[in-house]
Amino acid sequence: MPTGKIIKALSGFYYVLYEGDVYQCRGRGNFRKKKVTPLVGDIVEFKADNKEEGYILAIENRSNEFVRPPIANVDQALIVTSAIHPDFNALLLDRFLVLVEAKRIEPFIVISKMDQLSEDKIEEMQAYKAMYERIGYSVILSAVNDSQSMDQVQSHLADRTTVIAGQSGVGKSTLLNSIDPRLSIETDEISESLGRGKHTTRHVELYDISNGLVADTPGFSSLEFNDLELDQLPECFPEFVAVQDGCKFRGCLHHKEPKCAVKSAVESGEIAEQRYTHYLQFLEEIQNRKPRY
């Protein structure tokens, strides 16, 4: 049986990419009995007599998966955040980073709309760029019609499956259209009253861009830490992981414990205080989460 990759799911049909051609398939009935839903990004065995009438027979094991957006086998996440309209929000960016790190997916960050900033705001974004790069993240400052930043983004996309994350209105679809104008992904103006854009993307689809596959998705509709346990949170902060072996207690949550290497690194400036503050907010959120039954 041929093995292909689902690149789009729409109205009960799954579109499978195989050797450069796309086959429209339905899922087998036993998937429903087993409560298994094929996802965009799945590697699947399928059978098709022609390009319009195929059936998915089996789904290979996934390396990772998201529920919202529904996508599997992602190599990396491109997190887009805007410098302005809507204003840069470090807390929200750190929330996205934690959600991605929790899935063991490599993130890289694009700060968009740099061309709309005053001089002092540009310096502020450059300082944030330096902070996140010290942690080990790739950060690209992006502007409309800036070919250099577009080239940088494209170099990250080659040979990988990438999901794009970011709040609405930050310019995710605009970014993809800039890289590949053939896409013509629908974009919406920012709502002046709300200061944020409408979601223009209606379904998950993988686009062939820069020799890689990129998912323009309906967004991370849930930014809650519903599946994240307390002891997992520190692992989602790479700069904590780098020093935590120096903590006195194994399983240290870097909060009220004595002789904590992470708190010492915050005090010495090795770890950014703002990142640690956000960590404590997330820690409290998980601690106060209502139990699910």
pLDDT of residue 227: 85
The per-residue pLDDT for range 38-51, each reduced to its tens digit, is 999 999 999 999 99
Tell me the residue ranges of DSSP E strands in 118-195. 138-141, 161-165, 190-191
Beta-strand pair 21-27/54-59: parallel
Give the domain ranges of the chain. 3-61, 71-216, 230-287
pLDDT at 222: 64
Q: CATH topology for 230-287?
A: Ribonucleotide Reductase Protein R1; domain 1 (1.10.40)
Single pTM value for the model? 0.85
Instruction: Give the pLDDT score at 196.
Output: 41
Give the whole-angstrom CA distance, residue 237 versus residue 32.
38
Residues of the chain below pLDDT 70: 183-202, 216-222, 292-293
ω before 70 within 30° of 0 (cis)? no
Nearest to 135 by CA among 238, 204, 217, 18: 238
- Distance in angstroms (rounded) separating the CA atoms of residues 175 and 185: 10
Whose tokens are 């596959």? That residue is: 213
Longest dimension (CA), the chain: 66
Indicate the CATH number for domain 3-61. 2.40.50.140
Tell me which architecture the domain covering 71-216 has in CATH.
Answer: 3-Layer(aba) Sandwich (3.40)
